[in-house]
Each structure stands twice: as structure tokens, then as C-alpha cells.
Amino acid sequence: MTDVGHITRVRVEALADHLQIAAAAWAKRLDLPLDGDSEFALQLGEAGLQLVELGPQAPGPVRVDFVEGALAHRRQFGGGSGQMIAKAVGIAPGVRPRVLDATAGLGRDAFVLASLGCHMTLIERQPLIAALLDDGLARAARDAEVAGIVARMQLLTGNAIELMAAWQGEPPQVIYLDPMFPHRDKSALVKKEMRLFRPFVGDDLDAPALLQAALALASHRVVVKRPRKAPPIDGVKPGYVLEGKSSRYDIYPKKKLTAD
């Protein structure tokens, strides 16, 4: 993924006067300006940090919210350990693997797994997305209902391939990958987040190297989420596949997960 400044212009702005100092801290941290013309704005408001495309036809802002909305509904009514993602990473009675989500994005899948009891390490290499995720985790940590869940989520910012190659200590049992797929169908860009993030993120053209690094590090299995009709990542073929209506999970098993 390419450095933000080489693709588009982004400014940081506070949506309330009393947030000016905090907004300035984000601008310094991300090396972004606080004023001037821009195509996008990273805004700090009462509800947290959000990224918005500026202009009359732009979609609404995107932020990370682990407390309310879709993730709260899924946490309460999403099917628990019967969900396909839970089966893909190997959740079973007495089995809650340590998982590295090496393509964390906005952290939704990682939050689902953490809510089911997995200890999660998240890696996000795009600085703006990592900032949204960091802010969302910080706000969730102050909420009594979800604080215990996000306490099982640790965020790392950087290149996942490099971080996995230099991993210190006990390796993750499972590595979860959801690389951005090169969508050629314009309808794939309809979703607000896809439209907003693609100028910054692009496609994960290094997905084969990402898979190779994950296979070298994971102790028990690697799981790759793909669009249902997309080809598998180039390289080693998956051992088996779990297929849903719109997506599937390619499983690369190394060792059987057992109860603690």
C-alpha cells in the first residue's frame, strides 16, 4: 500500500473547538496538515475519529464503532461460535486460538473473534485506517459492555509481511488474512467504505507474499477470506474451503487445534 501523501490530499480537522488540541495531536502523529484544500478530511468529533471524502457527491463519513450499530447487533444476535468465521479459525468447545489478523482493516472480523473469546493481534499498515481503528478501540475500552472484549485486541501498525518475518516470542496459532481483492466490477465500489478507502489502499498485490509469510509463522493454520468466486491466492493450495453465499474461507492447516 502506498504512502498517503503520494495519492491524495488529506487534512485533519476538529468538529468542535474543545477538540482542537486533540486534532492537532492526530495531525502531528500522521504528518498531515490541519488546514488547506483537500479531497479528504480526517475529522475529530464528539463521536470519535472519522474519515470523510469532501465534495457534493461524496458518501458519508466512516468511523470504527465497536459499541453500537452493526457490530453490537452481531455480537448479540450473530450466531456465536456457529458463525462460519468461528469455524474457519478453529473455535470449538475448549478451543479459543490465539489469532493474528494481519489485514485488520476496520477490525470487524477481529472484534467478532475477540467477542467469542479469542486473543487477537491486529496489524494494519494504512496509517489512516489504523488511526480509525486505534480510536475505535480506545472508545470501546471506556464502555463497560465491550471493554472486556477489546482488552483481547492488540493493534500493531506497520507492514504485516515485515512484522511477521521479524516476529518475536510465541507465534500465533492462527493467522487470518482478508486481502483487498482487485475488483474489476464497478458494482464492487458501491459500498461506501470501498469507495472511500480504495484511493488510499489500492489492491493487495503482495497477497502471495503475505500468505507465504503467514504460513511460515502460524503454528496451526492460516485462514484466508475471499470473495466466493475469486481464485485462491497464488502459491500453496488451501487444504479445504468453507463456502458461504458471498464469501468463502480458504483453510491452510498445519497442525490440529486442541483444547487447552
Annotated binding residues for S-adenosyl-L-methionine: 108-109, 124-125, 178
CA–CA separation, 66 and 119 (whole Å) = 16
CA–CA separation, 122 and 47 (whole Å) = 23
Q: Return the ∠ at Cα 175 (arms to 173 and 178), rounded to 5°.
A: 160
CA–CA separation, 87 and 89 (whole Å) = 6
- Point out the annotated binding site: 108-109, 124-125, 178
Helices (H) and strands (E) in the chain, counts: 9, 10
- Cβ atoms of 132 and 63 within 8 Å: the answer is yes
Output the CA–CA distances (angstroms, integers) from residue 5 to 11, 12, 42, 132, 135, in the order listed: 10, 13, 13, 17, 21
